[in-house]
Amino acid sequence: MCATASPESPPNPPAIKNFLPATGVAVARQVHQAPLPSTFTESTKLSLPRKIGLFLLIGLLIAKVVGVVMRGPSPMVLDAGFYWELGGLVADGDWLLMQRPIAYRTPAYPWLIGLFRAVSSDPLFALVVFQGVLWMATIGLIAALASEISRDRRVVWVVVALAIPMLCSAVYVTTVLTETLFVFSIVLHLWSVARFTRRPTVAGGLMVGLTLGLAILTRPVAMLVWIADLIYVITSWYWIANPATQHLCHRRGWIGVLLAGIVTVGCVSPWLARNHALFGKAMLTEFVGRNLWIVTFQDGSGAGLGLPESAGAARLKTQLGDDVWGNLSVDQSWRHTWTVSNALTTSGMDDPSADRLMKRVATEAIAESPLPFGIKTLRRLINFWRTRATQIPAQLADLAADETVTRETLSQEFYVGQPVWGVKVPPVDTALRHRWSNWLAGNTLLMLATLAATMLLIWRRPTRAAGLWLGAILGYFATVTAVLEIPAYRYRMIVEPVVLLVIVLAIVSISACDGGLKVWRGVWSKNLLVKK
């Protein structure tokens, strides 16, 4: 049984030393701590002027998002149009998308679209407004997470102030794409992990599992985030015993961890069963082959490798046929992922089989020329942070700028007949033209600042666990993107809230005076004296 105590009772000392008379050796008997009192003190709370300033900053943040939404929705073409179509199937009751036997999409975002298409008379507007709320909620969660880690409420206004210039990611709330939902689900998961680590409960473990399941069902790239979470849990509970970590006992914590894993598996199991029924394989998606094809054979940021002389390449040519392969070879269009993918499915292969064949050919080409591929991968890893946001989603205010096309025409051509809206908002228009993320030097400075902030968090003992955790999250998404994707802003925006969190924590770590991390250090010093 784990020891419990009322919140008002003083914490037990971390260890009681028993001396064996025969040997004179001190043996430490571990006693589980009761929840420590909150380390928030009067000095860490916001003063009245700061509260007023915080409300003003929040007002500016809301005004920015409202201004972006007022500019209208982004066109529903390509991926956006396909997501809208999948949402229609969900609205009709096909929650597992059995009518579209595809293996390269997961269902969470179509579920969201389907919900609004089923209950709202103007689903596009409702979706955009909801995504705007999700974007602001993401910033709120980052503020809560920064306060949770630093134990200082004053970090909230720093988070909000630094979030105001984050404009490009806000534009994505007007798109029918997964970015906003995925970023929110990742940040919600990180917040739930931080709460669970400090005070592990069954409900906390359930929340961790649900949020990770949501993130995975939105984008499968989140499937390995649990490794970084485990690093944080182990580091916080065993290596760096943070006195602000309020847990009753490790056994209860590990029960919560086990529950989180079970819940995550339970969340994704229906989709695994769906794919097994359709394709004979329990999988989340089958898309790695298409990604590898891009970075292996495409010129520019891709490795630009030639087609290998291998069994996989021979199988590809045979499947396509001499005529089709000849046409693709003339203009080198075989280097284009979707050209080859569509040709394979047209030839009779199912979607996952085509992807597996493309992955086989790409890996064989990489095996023949590993050095060029590795050099280009390293270059993409650096460019992940430096890539300019040269192209952000257009909005209706941009499409209707010349006033030569009616909104009805735009609605039919770009919005599948949905009601549209959009006006120019001069402050937002100006800010978009001069956006920071389109400045190469600015992106480079931000990359260096992120690296320095992460190293500072890892170097300082009070923030080491959080630094390792957040550094692992940043490194994971950057590395996976570098290996499988051509760098683009839409991939980097996934980690923007985490970058904001790391920089804010570093600022607090440096500038803390009488609260926050110094409170942590004071409690830590007292515990060391008790041990002595």
DSSP 380: H
Burial of 520 (0-12, 13-18, 19+ CB in 10 A): buried
Is residue 504 a contact partner of residue 487, using CB atoms and an 8 Å limit? no
Last residue of one domain, picked from the residues 386, 402, 418: 386
Same domain, 199 and 295: no
Same domain, 249 and 267: yes
The confidence score (pLDDT) of residue 45 equals 61
Same domain, 57 and 152: yes
Distance, in Å, from the CA atom of 118 to the CA atom of 344, rounded to the nearest integer, reads 35
Given a cut of 60, whether residue 15 has pLDDT beyond it is no
Whether 321 is covered by a domain: the verdict is yes
Domain count, the chain: 3
pTM: 0.85
Last residue of one domain, picked from the residues 344, 371, 386: 386
What's the average model confidence in pLDDT over 486-490? Answer: 90
Whether 427 is covered by a domain: the verdict is no
Same domain, 5 and 110: no
Contacts of 417 (CB under 8 A, 6+ apart): 411
Whether 403 is covered by a domain: the verdict is no
The confidence score (pLDDT) of residue 74 equals 95
- Does the CA dihedral 325-331-332-334 come out positive or negative? negative
Same domain, 17 and 93: no
Given a cut of 60, whether residue 531 has pLDDT beyond it is no
**Residue 118: what are its φ and ψ, rounded to 5°?**
-85, -35
What's the average model confidence in pLDDT over 262-276? Answer: 95
Same domain, 61 and 145: yes
Distance, in Å, from the CA atom of 437 to the CA atom of 166, rounded to the nearest integer, reads 9
The confidence score (pLDDT) of residue 44 equals 53
Selected residue with higher pLDDT from 370 and 239 = 370
Whether 191 is covered by a domain: the verdict is yes
Same domain, 201 and 319: no
Same domain, 253 and 109: yes
Is residue 290 a contact partner of residue 338, using CB atoms and an 8 Å limit? yes
Of all helices (H) and strands (E), which one includes residue 277?
A: helix 250-279
Same domain, 292 and 270: no
The confidence score (pLDDT) of residue 27 equals 37
Confidence class for position 402, pLDDT limits 50, 70, 90: low
The confidence score (pLDDT) of residue 17 equals 38
Whether 397 is covered by a domain: the verdict is no
**Residue 247: what are its φ and ψ, rounded to 5°?**
-130, 150
pLDDT tens digits, one per residue of 155-176? 898 999 999 999 999 999 999 9
Same domain, 451 and 365: no
Percent of the chain with pLDDT over 90: 55
Whether 349 is covered by a domain: the verdict is yes
Same domain, 264 and 293: no
Distance, in Å, from the CA atom of 450 to the CA atom of 2, rounded to the nearest integer, reads 40
Percent of the chain with pLDDT over 70: 85
Across the chain, mean pLDDT equals 85
Distance, in Å, from the CA atom of 219 to the CA atom of 200, rounded to the nearest integer, reads 27
Reduce the DSSP state of residue 100 to 3 states and report it: coil
Domain around 19: 1-35
Given a cut of 50, whether residue 7 has pLDDT beyond it is no
